[in-house]
Amino acid sequence: MDEWASGIDTVLCDLDGVVWLAHQPIPGSVDAIAALRRSGRRVLFVTNNSFALLADHEGALDGIGIPAVGDVVSSSMAAASLVEPGERVLVAGGPGVAEALQTRGVDVVLNTGQPVDASIDAVVVGMHREFDYDRLAVAADVVRRGARLVGTNSDSTYPTPNGLLPGGGALLAAIAAASGATPVVAGKPEQPMADLVWSMIDGIGSPSTSSVLMIGDRPETDGLFARRLGCRFALVRSGVTPAGSASPHDVDLRVDADVADLADVAHRLVRAEREEQ
């Protein structure tokens, strides 16, 4: 029996590179989620993808056969926890960032590349395809004038069926370099996302770290996030970390399972439960 698979009742599952690639389901992932839920386990989708609206995350999952209303936790939501209601925030990101901030009660100013004269308390950065030199210049100027710099995540790349694209972390790095500021990052593997996840799974009862499993394709985010939570970590080779590549060498990072994909994880969890009965 896989020792790491024993006693897991809550599964935290990354989306990009684990469930899908650019919303195209990875083979076996839909059935894997269904099997985990049939076994009585709670599944939460914990994503650093800040671009999409919450309803779009949920709708895209439902579109491939995975009901997910109330089960998605995004880095936009974590970033919103770092600003206060009533603050004025420049958004250098997608609609998901603006939505999370507006839900928080923040006065949102979209970065269109035009100069911003009003006082700004923070600049929140996430992935968006409209990023250009003018938007970079505006965001950096606002930060140099005293606004806090907040990143939804530090992921440098974003996996797609056709390879890797620049991620939100790449845009954040550009603004940080141009402004000279050190950003505060909200998403995996940082504490704001951990706090948000724990607030959601506390409703299950009295969860312990030994009963929680994080499944992800990035040791530097998902693996370190599992370490921050104190829970177990399953690395899948269906996204950023390809099959055959070297295992992570961080001596402080515990990889409890190094497997092909989400379907393999689900199979091992369900098998372990049967062997314990």
Determine the pLDDT at residue 205. 47
Say if 3-48+189-276 and 77-185 have the same CATH topology. yes
Predicted confidence (pLDDT) per residue in 205-229, tens digit: 445 788 999 999 999 899 999 999 9
Beta strands in 35-127 (DSSP E): 42-47, 72-74, 88-92, 107-110, 122-125
Neighbours of 159 (CB within 10 A): 23
Q: From CA 107, how far away is CA 1, in angstroms rounded? A: 53
Q: In this predicted structure, what is the pLDDT of residue 251?
A: 52
pLDDT value of residue 174: 98
CA dist 13 and 57 (Å) reads 13
Spell out the residues 6+ positions from residue 116 whose beta carbon is closer than 8 angstroms to its own: 90, 109, 138, 141, 142
CATH superfamily label, 77-185: HAD superfamily/HAD-like (3.40.50.1000)
Q: In the prediction, which pLDDT does 122 show?
A: 98
Angstrom distance (rounded) from CA 169 to CA 49: 11
Where the chain has pLDDT below 70, the residues are 1, 203-207, 246-252, 277
Pick the CATH number of 3-48+189-276 from 3.40.50.1000, 3.20.20.10, 3.20.20.140, 3.30.70.360: 3.40.50.1000
Rounded Cα gap, residues 3 and 194, in angstroms: 25
Place of tokens 């590549």: 245
pLDDT of amino acid 102? 98
Give the residue extent of every domain in the chain: 3-48+189-276, 77-185
